[in-house]
Chains A and B, each alone.
Chain A
Amino acid sequence: MRRRETSGSGIGFNPRGLSLRSKLVVEFGAVIVGIMALVIAVSTFGVPFTEYIGSLGYEKSVVLNTLGLIADLKKERFELWLGERKDDVTLFSESINIATSLNDLLALIQRVSPDGKSPDQFWTQLTREPSYELLVQRFSQIIAAYKAYQKIQIADPSTGLIVASSDEKSLGLNVSGNPSFDKALKSTREVAVDIQLDPTTAHPYLIVSRAILGPALKDTATEPLLGIAMFHIDADAYLKPLLHTGITLGPTGDIVMVDQDSTILMSLKFPLPDGTIPKPLEYRIQALPAMMAARGQEGVTIADDYRGVRVLSAYRGLNIGPNQNWGLVVKRDEAEVFAPLWQGVLYTCLVGFSALLIAILLVVLVANRISGPIQDLSRTAREVEAGNLEVRAQVKASDEIGALAGTFNSMLESLKERSSEIERTNKELEAFSYSVSHDLRAPLRSIDGFSQALLEDYYDKVDETGRDYLKRVRASTQHMGRLIDDLLKLSRLTKAEMRPEPVPLSDIVTKIIDSLKKNEPDRSVECVVEEGITVYGDSYLIEIAMENLLNNAWKFTGKTPRPKIQFGMTQKEGLDVYYIKDNGAGFDMTYSDKLFGAFQRLHSSEEFSGTGIGLVTVQRIIHRHGGRIWAEAEPNKGATFFFTI
């Protein structure tokens, strides 16, 4: 018999199944998260080796495009503006009136101080000269027309001294050595462009300068160099706005202008990482975009700028003059550009993840709604299995499971009724067999007793035949007595409660054989008992079964010359099978199906006494243990009874 397991076998949910379900949920979640991540990754970064560049790539190209357009715009604007300034100074320098006035002025200066050295008064006096006033007037006109000009001045080419200026304080200053002066001096007809720092304010100034040539002399046909005109423009005040207005580059956007050496020509928006502010005309940018622009290259790139920050930039060369190129860089921080993108990805992930969590929650809820009642049902079933017939399943839902629970309950109800019915019947049976045993025996006793009395007291009055008859009467009554006993035993078997425990089968067999030997000491029977066999069952019932089987073996070897009884264990089809084998009378296998029928006998009572109940008892006991019993035999060779428990 197998030990009854109570841990939810059969219809119940295996408690381990709950965590299996959580495992499923986790795996499901992981798959979904994986898919989401893949989709987001692909949509953001695109698919490698294909044309799909994702939203990141798209954003990049859009921004770079825009920066390029802005750079083109600014370049054009600046070059246009510069062209106008060049034109202004050219027009001025080629004006005959200017040349005439300047000539007069210079002649005056020559006369008054031939060696070039002059006291302060001299300059003050000079300002009252009509030629001077004419020039200054012209200066004012120009400044009035375009307020960008901070200062306009003319320098004497031979001495380098400022001989006329819109700012009186500059008079007399020596500008030889100033690149604007030198360059204009050298190239005569070309406008020189330079940005310099004002010595007092350290502000950057754009200076456009040109040589003023007089009318050609009659004899040499060369135009005399009369002076160098220098037009000053405040770069920060006018150049910067020119570049920055009209477009929005965002909080991290900046436009940088550098000269051919990649030195910045204007102040920058952001300081260096260490906090210092790069000084215009001092700081030289070594970052890629600026350097490309300084070399006059044109393009877009994503590279680190002068701060080491990764930027998207467009760079252009600025045509300043022959052999003079400045550079322009329009840039935006990569982080700022892509910030909205990353934000979008983040929100997508958050939304997706929350949706997933909600989905899982719903799934779990729904699953619980379904599994809850099922678990309750199986729990109830388990309790019923354990013996509790009062318990009922909960009927909560009105769906199929609810219907099942309802049906289950009514099944339990009828089970309970049936069970009490059976109990009642059993009790009745018990009472019946009690009275049977008692009431049937009394008359039997009378019959036997009086037959014996007759035999003893009227011995001489009864002849041989009579005595024989009486003997038969007695034999029958005793037989009947034994039958009643056996029947009673049999009936008690079905009602007796089984108390399962480990039963030492070998020991029991040995004990029975010993008592058989003791009862009939003059019989020598060879007995072989396999040691150490234990089974699981009711020890009382198993003992009765063994008694019956061994009694039979003992009885049916009564006429065998060398009787041998064996008890052991073997394997048949993977199961443990126990057997009791004897070499006694055996029986014809053709009648084997009658073997276990109550009162059926395969031998006459002359050969072997017996009621025929013994094997029925054994079979019933074996069956109660959930086992099987069968026999194999041959007439006069013996019989073997096999059984499983």
Chain B
Amino acid sequence: MKYIISFLSLIMFTISIQAQMTQKSIKGPFLLKGATIHPVTATPYVGDILIDGDRISAIGENVSTFAPVTTIQCKGKHIYPGFIDAGTHLGLGEIGSVSLTNDYREIGDIIPQMQALTAVNPNSVSIPVSRTNGVTTVFTYPTGATISGTGALIDLIGYTPDQMYAGAKAVVMSYPTSGKRGWWDSRTPEELKKESEKKLKKINDLWDNAFLYAKIDSTEVAMNKNNSDYRPELEALLPIVRRERKLLIEVNKAEDIKKVIEWLKTRNLDVVLTGVSEGYRVADDIAAAGIPVITGPILSMPSRSSDKYDNPYANAGLLMKAGVKVAIRTDETENVRNLPFNAGFAAAYGMGIDEALKAITINTAEIFGVEKSYGSLVAGKIANLFVSDGDPFETKTQIEYLFIRGLQVPMESRHTLLYDEFLQRSPGLSKDTK
């Protein structure tokens, strides 16, 4: 990558030779000097950042150190915290239409015991493609069933899933929708209703059982008795029942959202609503219930043909203005890299740049309960950050340096490698054609 090379200092010369084979991440400490720092939780200012180990060890208007350090001049550049995508299948899926490369849909309808983290492929080609656009952390989750499993927050670097794990898991549940699944869905309204009622009953039974199971479990633990029976589904819901872990509920239709809010009044659960594509229709209800929302993709179609054309763009902003804590997701696999553009559209259509930035950094960290380590540029937090030549939402902006867990990560992916190889093909035309 030519721009990387142009910024490499002499110290790194030997490494750049190596880079033509495979670039590796580099350990610090690093001192980033003179950039405009966007802490997210405070107003931007010009200053320095010292990265030591996997943390930001110092940040401020003037940071200096006597320790040996790689200094990177960032004058005129901007530093942002790494973006967090609040919903993806990254690492779980490789090639959409080749089912054997996809690990996000297990058999069964209620399978919270399925662990996304187990199946994350640290070498997925999509991971470098995503992080080179500034996305350093994602929530990756299974899908397709009523309860598809337990998703995990991961940093986009590491040789093993455990190395990537970023300290938060959540069970994902899909609220039985009363809507059609697509243009090809020929079920009548009555059939849809019947089906969703059936599913809802199933969910109610499940949670009744989960709470009872938790009670029995606690009693057995108190009595120092062996666990009488192993029920993996209910076992996996224990942390949810005990409010040690979040439950993410996927729900999109306005009517369904209202039903979920009603439903939650009878259940003591720590919940985040996801999807919420018609959230703007019931924004006040969501705000009043005090439930945070993960919405997206922003770049999607209005859900009804009678809808205003820009509803999906405006949804996040309308929710935010109603007082809902909003995080943005792409719900993507190979194109998680579009997260900043999704935020950019939300910003343009009413959310504003600052709030849109929060929706892919600190808000997401707070929703997943990892705000002590993620989501803003503050001393002591994990050094997930990047240096860009401008506003990272702007499409033309280039990201120049990327740090995840304090490592400087090469700005390289299959896409850049193919570019480097094929921009000027040599030799050119392969055969003598007339």
A binds B: no
